[in-house]
Amino acid sequence: MTRIQEVLLKLETSYLGTPYYISGNALYSALARRLSEETKRHLQVSAGMFVPGEHGGFPDAHSQSGGVSFFGTGLRPVERYDDLFVFRDMAQRWLSDTRPRDAHNTHPLQEFSTTAGYAPTRSFGRPPEKRITKRTVSWYVHCYVHLDEPTGQTTFPFPACMFDGLRLGGARNYGFGLMECVETRCVDLSDLAYDRLETADAYQLELLTPYVTASEYPDADDQSIPWWWDGEGDLRTRSSTLARGDDIYPLETVDHGQVVGYAGSDPIQTAKNGLLRVGTHSQLGFGEFRLRPAEDDRVPDRQRTQAAEPTSKPHASPGGHR
């Protein structure tokens, strides 16, 4: 039995940092201050993904279907493995096409003297003939935590109050990055349905967070690319850093967002491992991935667009007229 705790936080004040995600290192550091020494040694934290509190609908691979008002403002049902990723896709494909989804998925920029930050809400104007001429979209953060083994000092799942009042990002001492816990939920990975993976003949693996191959963090080992990644020769790499207090440690990573084949023999267990993350610094959110049937297109709109396009151009008439 492996349990993870989903957490949805609401951004209450302006945020200084990257506009799409909050690093697992930042979440870990904020939570660790509230835990005992023993518990924080076993704490495992994912990266936090920004989610707009907007209308939307369940993606095709989800166990549920249909649209939901204010889809991004609460946790959604989890019955199937694919359900866990509805808010973990930075494209937020659940956003409704009936509204400007690209604008909704863009964090509003704010300027503070010489520093740029992001507002906790974004306002959209409505036609003057409407009764309400403005609507406001708030921003949320989706993450999950687990313990790699039980501890005798802490009950898991953690109470919601433990996530209230976390401060993340830069300038925290000046009131930036305040989070309020909206909802938490415990999910047992053994209880999920993996039917789409069980019936697939081949698989592809999408890296959702960077995978660390080399680290200068004390006592961290270099990590080779897993043998069960098929096609790693073309992977894009990126240099990054890990901050711990005033010290900055360089990292070499395989960048997130890349897709490779899967050459292993146990896709269900591999899928579970991807939720718990693999490799060096997995405790801090690195190495999260999603396994998909190879016939899936991770951009469903692309399939629909291609299906709607004509298969061949109209033939010209013998006289040169169409």
Q: What pLDDT digit, counting tens, does each position of 120-177 carry?
A: 998 888 777 777 788 899 999 999 999 998 776 668 899 999 999 999 999 999 999 9
Concatenating the DSSP letter of every residue in 8-50 gives: EEEE-S-B-S-SSEE-HHHHHHHHHTTS-HHHHHHEEEPPEEE
Q: Which residues of 276-287 are buried (b: 16+ CB within 10 A; e: fewer)?
A: bbebbbbbbbbb
Q: How confident is residue 303, by pLDDT bands cut at 50, 70 and 90?
A: low
Check residue 278 and give its pLDDT.
95
pLDDT at 274 over 70: yes
Count of positions (residues) in the chain: 322
How many angstroms separate the CA atoms of 45 and 147, rounded? Answer: 9
Task: Give mean pLDDT, residues 288-309.
Answer: 78
Check residue 246 and give its pLDDT.
86
Q: Which pLDDT tens digit goes with each residue over 60-112?
A: 899 999 999 899 999 999 999 999 999 999 889 999 888 888 889 998 899 98
Check residue 320 and give its pLDDT.
39
Check residue 317 and give its pLDDT.
43
Q: How confident is residue 305, by pLDDT bands cut at 50, 70 and 90?
A: low
| H or E stretch covering 75 | none
> Which residues lie across from 322 on neighbouring strands?
none
Measured between alpha carbons, how far apart are the two ends of the chain, in Å? 66
Cβ atoms within 10 A of the Cβ of 47, count?
A: 26
Q: What is the residue-averaged pLDDT of the chain? A: 89
Q: Does residue 30 contact residue 192 with C-beta atoms inside 8 Å?
A: no
Least confident of 40-44, 297-301, 306-310: 306-310
Structure tokens at 111: 């300027």
Distances (CA, A) of 135 to 94, 129, 149: 19, 14, 45
Task: Choose between 113 and 29: higher pLDDT.
Answer: 29
How many angstroms separate the CA atoms of 45 and 282, rounded? Answer: 8
Check residue 321 and give its pLDDT.
39
Q: Which pLDDT tens digit goes with each residue over 225-256?
A: 999 998 766 899 999 999 888 899 999 999 99
